[in-house]
A and B are shown apart, each in its own frame.
Chain A
Amino acid sequence: MKKGAKIWLGLILGLAFIVALTGWYLHRHTVAVLQPVGQIGRKERNLIAFCAALSILVMVPVFTMLGVFAWKYRESNVRAKYSPELEGSNLAETIWWLIPTALISIVAVITWRSSYAMDPFKHIDTSKPTLHVQVVALDWKWLFIYPDQHIASVNEVAVPVGMPVDFELTSDTVMTSFWAPQLGGQMYAMPGMNTHLNLEASKTGSYRGVAANISGKGFAGMDFMVKAVNGSDFTKWLQTAKRSASKLTANSYAVLARPTENVRPSYYGTVDSGLYDTIVMNYMMPMGTQTNTEGSV
């Protein structure tokens, strides 16, 4: 075998080994974004797959030309044609203004349509009842208030499978991001602001959710668990929460809001109505208490 062929064989074998190893690794682990369990997550994965496939149309010609030109027009290959005066071609340049433009036009159409279709503020399916969950980012945990069920939980949120959920998000500390990768998507939670993230889970299971934007010391431990359960288990979960002796009032909320790290899930059997609105509005007051100096709710 020639030396060149040996190098190529080695390269191909090496690459194959790396690909196999990566495949084996991925097979044994959850790749959250590519293994979604809800319709939003699935649509997002399909979009990723489509755009990645489209990108092959760019990568193949670029890499081929780079490889072929570099090989063919190497200095030592004196038989290759050499055109020291060639400095452009209107036709060729027009082509490569147009090809990327065409590809990007496709992306543009996809962008436009998916931005509307998958607007996180939009309810997923208006024909079905939607579960409302109010989410408050605290230092460094997530508070989930079920306004219609009058219970609340910390770092654990249960949703019935197949039911659209409207997460209403705010923060009572710095800005951070609410992300449940397997359900699909994230949205910033900001003090004094009210944002929405509409998601849905289509398979029972426990799915990890995180704070995705740096929010201070306890940021890395600010995880929560999404429990996607069927209807009867959801009722059971609500009852478990209801049985909790803790009541979420203005006072107990103030205690909860104090900075803590790596917080275990817990429940509140009752919730003061309007607590979420109070938390948001607290920042809206003219010359409100939330200033640079001290003072929480």
Chain B
Amino acid sequence: MLTQFANAFLGRLSWHALPQDAITRGGASAIVLGGLGIVALITLTHRWKWLWKEWLTSQDPKRIGVMYIVVSVVMLLRGLGDVALMRAQQATSVGNSHGILDASHFQQIFSAHGTIMIFFVAMGFLFGLINLVLPLQLGARDVAFPFLNSTSFWLFFAGMGLINLSLVIGDFSAAGWLAYPPLSELKFSPTTGVDYWIWSLEISGVGSLLSGINFLVTILKMRAPGMTLRKMPMFAWSVMGSMTLVAFAFPILTVTLTLLALDRTIGTHFFTAGGGGNAMMYVNLIWAWGHPEVYILILPAFGIFSEVVPTFSRKPLFGYTSMVWAIWAIVLLSFTVWLHHFFTMGAGADVNAFFGIMTAVIAVPTGVKIFNWLFTMYRGRIKFATPMLWFMGFTVMFTIGGVAGVLLSVPAIDYQVHNSLFLVAHFHMMIISGVLFGYFAGLTYWFPKIFGFRLHEGLGKIAFWCWAIGFMLAFTPLYILGLMGATRRLDHYDASLGWQQLFIVAGIGVIFVLLGVAAQVLQLVISIWQRDQRRDLTGDPWGGRTLEWSVPSPAPSYNFTTLPVVTARDQFWADKHAGKTVEPRYEDILVPKNTGAGLWIGAFAFLVGFGMIWHMYWLALLGLVGIMVTIIVRASDDEPEYILKAKEVEKMDNALRRRKQYV
């Protein structure tokens, strides 16, 4: 009777779920102690109220953006910790030595690494930057649906919480970052690992879909008067392309994960080996989301480069129209290439050839973008600030990685390099140089607009060089290893193969990357320390071209006192050079009230996920009811907004212009 009750109450949860070995215990304690440390710090400094009022319940996209980026940076550190362990394992686990990790632990680590880097670093960083910049660039005061925006963030946060909880309670998936069945089915992965994977992505994926719709509507409906689509800044165009992909691709992910969850919890046979299931269907579905996902991440990075290169070359973007066409060509093509992830699954020559050719075709619009950026530099006055360095590093590495990509797109070649470290080197080269370098450039570029002071340039440059050198050292050996026949995800290999030296070089590369990250952390600390000397008093620290630079730094919560009227592509640049200044006219502004509803929805979603993972169905149900009640309560609020009086705006604006607000 008692055990029955305990089973119904606790599901699969028991003391055995706590970590059993030293390394996991270390990771778990780091997470628990880190969390407790933060809580203690906030309590000791009496910051709870401030945190709640200014940040957690905030509907200001800039605040939400900062929270996204903070989470992403913490997750980047976690993902790099995984990298350090993997590199240490592969550098030492050769011949009679078996390194520091056992096979299943190693497999959990690379699965967590991929999942965290894509979903909780890249996606979080992406939504963070969009939140910071998009409304400002469009001359808007907010996103279309502020409350939905905060809900998206908290769903993302809940997913992040679940994936990290797997380190403390239970285990994580050992089936790779995309968890192909049958390996990810209950028969082969009976523990909670794959469930953690499913539910953290399911929850954060819903958040991403909501964000996608939100930003798409923001772009379509909230642009400043006069800003026709063809006058929109290129970053906004790239976000529009990316969010279109989110709207079409993320539902596929949600459904696929749901089907896998059904297989695992109620015994359906969508993807099982027998019983009428078909794992190949899963592989198709997951990549029908997975390939567009790559472009979801990379298009906004292209957009950032399209802002950075003109600003630091002091010239308009070369070939605006062909840039827009290139974005939409990529959007369309990205849905026609998913099969290139599994040429080796036995499709006929005609199918493989079609998808191979479509893949290679994407190189055309991408190439056009590179040429346009290069010709933006042509006859410019180039200032090599850190964002520009990230761009140049990107161009070199992305081109090398892209060439490797064209090789991979030929099915007959792919048979020889698929699933090898050559492939691993290729996609890291694309995602790190394309996505991460782009986001770093964007963060450095827009940092003063959000915080009111610039980041330390010298340390930024050191960070860039550490990343660039470390990156080449870490991945060039992997290209060679792949050609030598090394498959990905090996926790051990034979000494006679002679791979160890190359794995050690790759490990040294990672040390350089970690130095780069250390330089970035130091950069942030020193910049905050010296913020008074580093203040941006003009609102336009780089000689910018677009509307976000027309407001003071840090940008006020309402963004614009007067909504700008747009007549040119680089409106702010044109105004500056015409000597035109807008005399502020103060008006009443409708501002969304703070609300904790988004946070509660995230918290309840976390319970749903935790309940489903551990088969505590009452908890999942409770979470679901909690979400519904929160939505009803929120929807019953007749006054979700308040009016910021013109007088108040004037006072805030004057304070900002006198530079006294931010101390």
Whether A205 is near chain B, meaning CB under 8 Å from some CB there, is no
Give the interface segment out of A1-9, A157-165, A173-181, A266-274: A173-181
Q: Can you name the residue of chain A whose Cβ is closest to the Cβ of B279?
A: A175
Q: Which of B265-279 contact A (CB under 8 A)?
A: 267, 269, 272-276, 279
Question: How far apart are the CA atoms of A58 and B377 in the complex, in Å?
Answer: 18
Q: How would residues 86 to 107 of chain A score, 1 for a CB under 8 Å from any chain B CB and 0 otherwise?
A: 1111001100110111001001
B419 engages A179 (CB within 8 Å): yes
A290 engages B356 (CB within 8 Å): no
A293 engages B410 (CB within 8 Å): no
A107 engages B484 (CB within 8 Å): no
Chain A neighbourhood of B280, CB < 8 A = 190, 193
Whether A257 is near chain B, meaning CB under 8 Å from some CB there, is no
A73 engages B313 (CB within 8 Å): yes
Q: Which of B331-354 contact A (CB under 8 A)?
A: 342, 344-346, 348-350, 352-353
B399 engages A292 (CB within 8 Å): no
CB-CB under 8 A for A26 and B487, given A63-B396, A75-B383, A93-B322: no
Which of A31, A81, A89, A115 sits near B483, CB closer than 8 Å?
A: A31
Chain B neighbourhood of A52, CB < 8 A = 403, 407
Q: Which of B497-545 contact A (CB under 8 A)?
A: 497-498, 501-502
Give the interface segment out of A146-154, A206-214, A242-250: A206-214
Chain B min CB distance to A280 (Å): 11
Chain B neighbourhood of A13, CB < 8 A = none
Whether B462 is near chain A, meaning CB under 8 Å from some CB there, is no
Give the interface segment out of B31-39, B181-189, B548-556, B629-637: B181-189
Whether A252 is near chain B, meaning CB under 8 Å from some CB there, is no
Q: Can you name the residue of chain A whose Cβ is closest to the Cβ of B272?
A: A292
Chain A min CB distance to B329 (Å): 10
Binding site of A, secondary structure by majority: helix, strand, loop or mixed?
A: mixed
Q: Can you name the residue of chain B whose Cβ is closest to the Cβ of A191?
A: B273
CB-CB under 8 A for A58 and B349, given A22-B480, A83-B379, A212-B487: no
Question: How far apart are the CA atoms of A73 and B313 in the complex, in Å?
Answer: 8
Question: How far apart are the CA atoms of A181 and B409 in the complex, in Å?
Answer: 18
Which of B272, B377, B498 sits near A290, CB closer than 8 Å?
A: B272
CB-CB under 8 A for A87 and B317, given A73-B380, A174-B273: yes
Which of B103, B267, B342 sits near A188, CB closer than 8 Å?
A: B342
Question: How far apart are the CA atoms of A220 and B101 in the complex, in Å?
Answer: 13
B315 engages A83 (CB within 8 Å): yes
Chain B neighbourhood of A74, CB < 8 A = 382, 384
Question: How far apart are the CA atoms of A89 and B316 in the complex, in Å?
Answer: 12
Give the interface segment out of B295-303, B366-374, B578-586, B651-659: B366-374
Which of B364, B392, B410 sits near A111, CB closer than 8 Å?
A: B410
Question: How far apart are the CA atoms of A272 and B402 in the complex, in Å?
Answer: 50
For B, the interface residue count at a CB cutoff of 8 angstroms equals: 101
B275 engages A290 (CB within 8 Å): yes
Whether B489 is near chain A, meaning CB under 8 Å from some CB there, is yes
B318 engages A115 (CB within 8 Å): no
CB-CB under 8 A for A175 and B182, given A62-B374, A97-B364, A112-B353: yes
Whether B191 is near chain A, meaning CB under 8 Å from some CB there, is no
Q: Which of A5-37 contact B (CB under 8 A)?
A: 22, 25-26, 28-34
A28 engages B498 (CB within 8 Å): yes
A186 engages B480 (CB within 8 Å): no
Q: How would residues 569 to 597 of chain B score, 1 for a CB under 8 Å from any chain A CB and 0 otherwise?
A: 00000000000000000000000000000
Chain B neighbourhood of A255, CB < 8 A = none
Whether B491 is near chain A, meaning CB under 8 Å from some CB there, is yes
Chain A neighbourhood of B409, CB < 8 A = 107, 111
Chain A neighbourhood of B174, CB < 8 A = 216-217
Whether A48 is near chain B, meaning CB under 8 Å from some CB there, is yes
Whether A118 is near chain B, meaning CB under 8 Å from some CB there, is yes
B176 engages A214 (CB within 8 Å): yes
Q: Can you name the residue of chain B whose Cβ is closest to the Cβ of A283?
A: B274
Which of A44, A175, A188 sits near B413, CB closer than 8 Å?
A: A44
Which of B349, B399, B420 sits near A63, CB closer than 8 Å?
A: B399
Chain B min CB distance to A50 (Å): 10
Question: How far apart are the CA atoms of A29 and B502 in the complex, in Å?
Answer: 11
B315 engages A187 (CB within 8 Å): no
Q: How would residues 106 to 147 of chain A score, 1 for a CB under 8 Å from any chain B CB and 0 otherwise?
A: 011011101111111100000000000000000000000000
Which of B353, B392, B420, B484 sits near A30, CB closer than 8 Å?
A: B484
A219 engages B103 (CB within 8 Å): yes
Which of B274, B374, B378, B415 sits near A191, CB closer than 8 Å?
A: B274
Chain B neighbourhood of A96, CB < 8 A = 367-368, 371-372
Chain A min CB distance to B168 (Å): 23
A292 engages B264 (CB within 8 Å): yes
Question: How far apart are the CA atoms of A68 and B118 in the complex, in Å?
Answer: 35
Q: Which of A43-65 contact B (CB under 8 A)?
A: 43-45, 47-48, 51-52, 55, 58-59, 62-63, 65
Whether B395 is near chain A, meaning CB under 8 Å from some CB there, is yes
Chain A min CB distance to B358 (Å): 9
B187 engages A293 (CB within 8 Å): yes
Q: How would residues 411 to 440 of chain B score, 1 for a CB under 8 Å from any chain A CB and 0 otherwise?
A: 111011111100000000000000000000
23 pairs, CB–CB < 8 Å, chain A vs chain B? A26-B480, A32-B484, A48-B416, A58-B367, A75-B383, A86-B379, A104-B360, A104-B361, A104-B363, A104-B364, A111-B360, A174-B183, A175-B183, A181-B416, A185-B415, A186-B415, A188-B345, A208-B497, A213-B180, A214-B175, A217-B107, A223-B494, A292-B187
New A-B contacts (17) at CB < 8 Å, excluding given A48-B416, A66-B374, A88-B322:
A29-B497, A51-B410, A58-B403, A62-B399, A63-B396, A65-B374, A69-B380, A86-B315, A87-B316, A88-B318, A96-B368, A111-B410, A115-B350, A174-B188, A186-B344, A190-B346, A219-B107
Q: Could you tell me which B residues sit within 8 Å of A by CB distance? A: 103-104, 107, 174-176, 180-183, 185-188, 263-264, 267, 269, 272-276, 279-280, 313-322, 342, 344-346, 348-350, 352-353, 356-357, 360-361, 363-364, 367-368, 370-372, 374-375, 377-384, 392, 395-396, 399-400, 403, 406-407, 409-413, 415-420, 480, 482-485, 487-494, 497-498, 501-502
